[in-house]
Structure 1
Amino acid sequence: MSIPAAYLGVILIWSTTPLAIQWSGTGADFIFPLLVRMLIGLVVCLMLMRGLRVKMVLTRAAINAYVAAGSGIFGAMLLVYWGARYVPSGLIAVLFGLIPLFTGLIGVWMSDAERLTPAKLAGIALGLAGLIVIFSAGAKISAQAMPAIAAILVAVAIQATSLVWVKRTGATVPVLALTTGALTLVVGLLLPLWLMLFGHVPQWSLRTGLSTLYLGIFGSVAGFSLYFYVTKHLQAGQVALITLITPVSALLLGQALNGERPSLDVWLGTALILLGLGAHQWRLFVRMAR
């Protein structure tokens, strides 16, 4: 596979996923489209494992990795699908761009990362300043925007914690097996939750169905696999550039395809967050330039 093509694929998938989540919405029932997405992803993973003859690893470390990855997907995506009903898709991508900052903080707290240098502290401060600006813009979006933004921010923290947790397990698991195990856990948790809270299949439009199919195949399987491939073949600084590109591209896509009109506050908050990410990762960028 071409590395530039894989890199571009990750950017495209991460840029379009928030918009596809909004388009897959079915009103009050925000769990059903998520459940169908994960079911599609699980079926695709099982087919790929059978075709490629990849076996599930069932060691204790591997099972811990499945639980770590699956619980992160379950908690984060549940909050994102709920919040996506009130928050523009571009803003969701901006908030998820904070994952490197959250991962760094959690890694330091768990003694799994380097100490906080002045540059990293400056990056975190800029990111927090960007969040404050975005929260101030939340009231201008809708009445439910503030709690929805907070929910998505909690989802970012859950996802970052999950990433650190998976790393701490020390499991040597093929990425396809890891994805399959995680999705199995997610479907097992979502199905009874949906039956308890809703329990009836909502009416779907063509756009809803196609968006869910896209998320199941590309958002849940291809995106993760391409990201793993990119991280295996490129330097960390080159991979970190993805988190600086996708927030802006997602904002532009939401504006062009979904009629979203980000306010000046949202753009200012985005700029502060991107500056914070740049400051936090500047040493990686210097190594990449060398």
Structure 2
Amino acid sequence: MSLPAAYLGIILIWSTTPLAIQWSTEGAGFAFAVLARMAIGTLVAGLLVLVGRVGFPLHARARRAYLSGGVGLFGAMALTYWGARYVNSGLVAVLFGLSPLFAAILAALFLGEQALTPARLTGTLLGAAGLGVIFVHGDSLGGEHALAGLVALLAAVLVYSGSLVSLKHICDDSPPLATTVGTLSVALPFFALLWLLSDGQIPAAIPPRTGAAIVYLGVFGSVLGFALYYYVIKHLEASRVALITLITPVLALLLGNLLNGEEIGLRLWAGTGLILLGLAVHQSEMWRPLLRRLAGSGS
């Protein structure tokens, strides 16, 4: 597989996922939308494991990884789908850009990692300032329930970051596709229960755009994006992979404005800029070797 194509694929998938999440809930309900997405993702990933004869470990460490990943996936996606109905789609990507900052704090608290260096602490404070700017008048970002949506999305980012830290602590070495299947298989019953408790109704008619968004998220968002990400981090240094988290929020905001008519006010741009600046400072230590290499090649 071409590495540039895989890198570009991740950017495109991560940039379009927030808007696809919003479209997938139109006329279908958030619980049905996320259940259908995860069912499609489980089926596709399972077929790929069978056809590709990928090993599916069931030892204790793998089972812990599947359980931790599945519970984290359910919590993060349930909150994301609920909250995404009330805010601009691009803001979903902006808030999830905070996940490296949250993960560093959680790793320092629960794993004892020396993660809060001066650069990372400064980046975290800048990210918090950007978040504060967005929250000051959150009711202007999507509707009357926008503040509730923002809180739900922030909780989703926290759950997602906690799941990443937990998986790092477990340190399972199962194939990425097997981890995908295991994680989705654990999460799927929880999504089914959420759907039953919410309304338990299958929509009589699913709009074409809604159906296309659900299928897109099931195949690309839940399976292909995950596989491409693991492929890229295996072949590229972390500094270049980290650039993805700086690119996707801006693209997601622009796509929401262009394709969904979402207004991007000055406050949202200012908050986004502070968050991205904080993320850049937070990860600056990883980029120093890359910058030195670029400077050396230019001399």
TM-score by length of 1: 0.97
Corresponding residue for residue 184 of structure 1: 185
Corresponding residue for residue 163 of structure 2: 162
Corresponding residue for residue 200 of structure 1: 201
Contact 1:137 1:266 in 2 (8 A): no
Corresponding residue for residue 295 of structure 2: none
Corresponding residue for residue 218 of structure 1: 220
Question: How far is the alpha carbon of 1:227 from its aligned partner?
Answer: 0.5
Question: How far is the alpha carbon of 1:167 from its aligned partner?
Answer: 1.2
Q: Partner of 1:166: helix, strand, or coil?
A: helix
Deviations 1:142-176 (A, max 9, x none): 21001110110010010011011111112111001
Question: How far is the alpha carbon of 1:32 from its aligned partner?
Answer: 0.3
Counterpart Cα distance in 2 of 1:183 and 1:56 = 13
Contact 2:104 2:115 in 1 (8 A): no
What aligned pairs does 1:18-29 form with structure 2 within 5 A after superposition? 18-27=18-27, 29=29
Corresponding residue for residue 12 of structure 2: 12
Query: Segments of 4+ in structure 1 off by > 4 A?
Result: none
The runs of 5 or more residues in structure 2 that have no matched partner are 293-299
Question: How far is the alpha carbon of 1:113 from its aligned partner?
Answer: 3.0
- Larger CA deviation: 135-144 vs 8-17: 135-144
Partner amino acid, structure 2, of 1:217:
V
1:97 aligns with 2:97: yes
What aligned pairs does 1:80-119 form with structure 2 within 5 A after superposition? 80-111=80-111, 113-119=113-119
What aligned pairs does 1:234-253 form with structure 2 within 5 A after superposition? 234-253=236-255
Counterpart Cα distance in 1 of 2:28 and 2:22 = 13
Counterpart Cα distance in 1 of 2:198 and 2:110 = 36
Contact 2:20 2:213 in 1 (8 A): yes
Question: How far is the alpha carbon of 1:243 from its aligned partner?
Answer: 0.5
Q: Partner of 2:231: helix, strand, or coil?
A: helix
Corresponding residue for residue 62 of structure 1: 62
Q: How many residues are aligned here? A: 290
Counterpart Cα distance in 2 of 1:192 and 1:24 = 19
1:37 aligns with 2:33: no
- Larger CA deviation: 38-47 vs 187-196: 187-196
Contact 2:27 2:206 in 1 (8 A): no
Partner amino acid, structure 1, of 2:243:
L
- Gap change, CA 1:36 and 1:164, over 3 Å in 2: same
Contact 1:137 1:263 in 2 (8 A): no
- Larger CA deviation: 107-116 vs 70-79: 107-116
Deviations 1:214-250 (A, max 9, x none): 0000000000100001100011111111001000010
The runs of 5 or more residues in structure 1 that have no matched partner are none
State, as a whole percentage, how many aligned pairs show the same letter: 52
Contact 2:27 2:207 in 1 (8 A): no
Counterpart Cα distance in 1 of 2:111 and 2:196 = 40
Q: Partner of 2:137: helix, strand, or coil?
A: helix
Contact 1:65 1:166 in 2 (8 A): yes
Counterpart Cα distance in 2 of 1:234 and 1:16 = 23
Contact 2:19 2:90 in 1 (8 A): yes
Corresponding residue for residue 260 of structure 1: 262
1:286 aligns with 2:281: no
Corresponding residue for residue 297 of structure 2: none
Counterpart Cα distance in 2 of 1:89 and 1:30 = 14
Q: Partner of 1:44: helix, strand, or coil?
A: helix
Q: Partner of 2:287: helix, strand, or coil?
A: helix
Q: Partner of 2:144: helix, strand, or coil?
A: coil
Question: How far is the alpha carbon of 1:105 from its aligned partner?
Answer: 0.6
